[in-house]
Amino acid sequence: MKVLAITNQKGGVGKTTTAVNLAASLAAEGQRVLMIDLDPQGNATTGSGITKKEALPTVYQLLIGAATLTEVCIQTEFGFDVLPANRELAGAEVELIELDEREYRLKNALQAGHATYDFILIDCPPALNMLTVNGLVAADSVLIPMQCEYYALEGLSDLVETLRKVRSHLNSRLEIEGLLRTMYNSQSTLTQQVSNELENHFGSKVYQTIVPRNVRLAEAPSYGKPVIAFDKSSKGAQAYSALAREILERVAP
């Protein structure tokens, strides 16, 4: 069992797209997958076909101890389970501060699910807040989606510094699982320069799989579907299937 936090404090880099589509693609490879929406925006929830109204209780109730994992967990029609979120989760940010073991709430709540899943994927919000800290403490490793643009590497050094702090104070086993290039435009020279620099710095931590810019990936969430259920032959669907296989090869070569 492996817990992956999909994280990058930079907004709009493809975290949620990666969480939903990697969950569906790992499930299609026969893996037992739980996807956790840790973002009050709730995009991973709706993108998995769960309407916010039926999504009660949510991760919020789980974190404050008002519901159990089983009570919050929803099965999707795409072969993976979801712990949903909605705007209410924004309140947890403040409320968690009052609670015991505030950084460990998610980790403790997930103990009950360890035997049930091969992969737990956590979609983190675009911030280094208490929710993200809960995600990083619960995780074995982080998967970092990034766009290969000018400021990406700068943002990455902030993230690496945060990971170092979490490692020394809260979760010593936290590793970098991999860096994923998203929304890739191979026509752009800048994209290629940043991509090369990324490979020089992080070597084999950079996934060979690259997710291209693909409009089907942007369209699928409005139908409440992962892209493999929406347009299986699209470049986006193929990329996330390839990523799932690359991750499985790394886990068990």
**Residues 58 and 86 sit within 8 Å (Cβ to Cβ):** yes
Residue 231 binds which entry of Mg ion, ligand ATP, none, with Cβ cut-offs from 5 to 8 Å by kind? none
Residue 113 binds which entry of ligand ATP, Mg ion, none, with Cβ cut-offs from 5 to 8 Å by kind? none
**Residues 70 and 112 sit within 8 Å (Cβ to Cβ):** yes
Residue 121 binds which entry of ligand ATP, Mg ion, none, with Cβ cut-offs from 5 to 8 Å by kind? none
**Residues 123 and 81 sit within 8 Å (Cβ to Cβ):** no
Residue 213 binds which entry of Mg ion, ligand ATP, none, with Cβ cut-offs from 5 to 8 Å by kind? ligand ATP
For residue 88, give every residue at least 6 positions away whose Cβ sits within 8 Å of its Cβ, in sequence order, or none.
40, 58, 60
Provide the minimum distance between the beta carbon of 145 and ligand ATP in the complex, in angstroms, as a whole number: 6
Question: Based on CB atoms, which residue is closest to ligand ATP, 113 or 236?
Answer: 236
Question: Based on CB atoms, which residue is closest to ligand ATP, 67 or 243?
Answer: 243
The one-character DSSP state at 224 is T
Q: Which residues of the shown chain bind ligand ATP in the complex (CB under 6 A)?
A: 11-17, 39, 41, 43, 126, 182-183, 211, 213-214, 217-218, 221, 236
Provide the minimum distance between the beta carbon of 157 and ligand ATP in the complex, in angstroms, as a whole number: 18
Q: Which residues of the shown chain bind Mg ion in the complex (CB under 5 A)?
A: 15-16
Provide the minimum distance between the beta carbon of 238 and ligand ATP in the complex, in angstroms, as a whole number: 12
Provide the minimum distance between the beta carbon of 98 and ligand ATP in the complex, in angstroms, as a whole number: 26
Question: Based on CB atoms, which residue is closest to ligand ATP, 67 or 78?
Answer: 78
Question: Based on CB atoms, which residue is closest to Mg ion, 92 or 116?
Answer: 92
For residue 139, give every residue at least 6 positions away whose Cβ sits within 8 Å of its Cβ, in sequence order, or none.
3, 4, 5, 122, 171, 174
Nearest to residue 165, comparing CAs of 132, 209, 203, 195?
A: 132
Provide the minimum distance between the beta carbon of 77 and ligand ATP in the complex, in angstroms, as a whole number: 20
The one-character DSSP state at 116 is T
For residue 253, give every residue at least 6 positions away whose Cβ sits within 8 Å of its Cβ, in sequence order, or none.
none
Question: Based on CB atoms, which residue is closest to ligand ATP, 195 or 214?
Answer: 214
Kindly report the backbone phi and psi dihedral angles of residue 210, in degrees, each rounded to the nearest multiple of 5, phi listed first: -120, 135
Provide the minimum distance between the beta carbon of 23 and ligand ATP in the complex, in angstroms, as a whole number: 13
**Residues 248 and 48 sit within 8 Å (Cβ to Cβ):** no
